[in-house]
Amino acid sequence: MKLDEILQSLFPAGYSATPRQGLLSGSGKRGNGTDVHILGVIDDTPLGIEDAAQLASQVLDIARTPGDAPILLVIDSSSQRMSRHDELLGLNEYLSHLAKALFVAELHGHRSIGLLYGHTAAGAFIATALAATVLVGLPGATPEVMDLPSVSRVTKLSIDVLKEKAKTNPVFAPGLDYLFPTGAVHQIWDPAKPLAEQLETVLSQWPAEDTRAQLGLARGGRPAAQRIIDQVLALAGQ
């Protein structure tokens, strides 16, 4: 789905969203008349230090706003911007700061929903979509930790061999369908149905805790994680 179609389907009562150099900001109206803040990284934009600071600043403005309007974070980004400039000035601080901003916004009543409709990768993925409390995906989204050619270089296996291995266990392979079993994505929405209803369902079934490892176990993508977490919690309580 294209961004305009997505926003129209999410907010039939109206929305406004302004794209500016790869970032999106605006707001939409829910069926009950209340607002949803819209923020995003769009157009396959790589996330660098300036944009991360800009986004975090907007999130913190929302955190200071009274009320409980949730934040919808729409994502079609590249990876983090890979450059000497960004690393020299501390990209790790800027990216994690954005994750912190989303977290404190939620402490102040503004829940965050990531909506992955395009691309995202690596550190930009962690700082945006994966930092939202709930992440949903739309079919056609192409999240990846690392592109297959880079995985091929590191693992010293050809892309053909990797594609063959992905059929047995896709835990390393790029793509929404391969990410879903790990629990990283809470839901994949159905583009044939109104997105507004699907958003309302998410908001009404908000998880009380981080359930991603439980989802990973139930879906079979992470057979060990939840068991290990439970075991550590039991040992640490003794």
Helices (H) and strands (E) in the chain, counts: 11, 9
Give 74 or 179: the residue with its C-beta nearer to another protein. Answer: 179
* Least distance between another protein and beta carbon 120 (Å): 11
CA–CA gap between residue 98 and residue 55 (Å, rounded): 7
* Least distance between another protein and beta carbon 8 (Å): 30
Within positions 38 to 57, which residues make up the interface with another protein, using CB under 8 A?
A: 49-50, 53, 56-57
**Residue count at the site for another protein (CB under 8 A)?**
80
Residue 172 DSSP symbol: G
* Least distance between another protein and beta carbon 118 (Å): 17
Within positions 144 to 163, which residues make up the interface with another protein, using CB under 8 A?
A: 144-146, 150-151, 153-155, 157
Confirm if 95 and 47 have CB atoms less than 8 A apart.
yes
Give 192 or 234: the residue with its C-beta nearer to another protein. Answer: 234
For every residue of 15-39, DSSP letters joined together read EEEEEETTEEEEEEE-TTS-EEEEE
Give 28 or 221: the residue with its C-beta nearer to another protein. Answer: 221
134: nearest Cα among 209, 191, 33: 209
For every residue of 99-143, DSSP letters joined together read HHHHHHHHHTT--EEEEE-SEEEHHHHHHTGGGSSEEEE-TT-EE
Task: Find the binder of another protein among 170, 187, 191, 219 (CB under 8 A).
Answer: 170
Beta pairing partners, 226: none
- 164 touches another protein (CB under 8 A): no
Give 36 or 60: the residue with its C-beta nearer to another protein. Answer: 60
- How crowded is residue 82: how many other Cβ atoms within 10 Å of its Cβ? 13
Give 28 or 181: the residue with its C-beta nearer to another protein. Answer: 181
* Least distance between another protein and beta carbon 43 (Å): 19
* Least distance between another protein and beta carbon 11 (Å): 27
* Least distance between another protein and beta carbon 203 (Å): 19
162: nearest Cα among 217, 153, 218: 153
CA–CA gap between residue 177 and residue 123 (Å, rounded): 20
- The letter for the amino acid at 7 is L
Within positions 201 to 230, which residues make up the interface with another protein, using CB under 8 A?
A: 210, 212-213, 216, 221-226, 228-230
Within positions 67 to 126, which residues make up the interface with another protein, using CB under 8 A?
A: 80, 82-97, 99-101, 103-104, 107-108, 122-123, 125-126
Confirm if 180 and 142 have CB atoms less than 8 A apart.
no
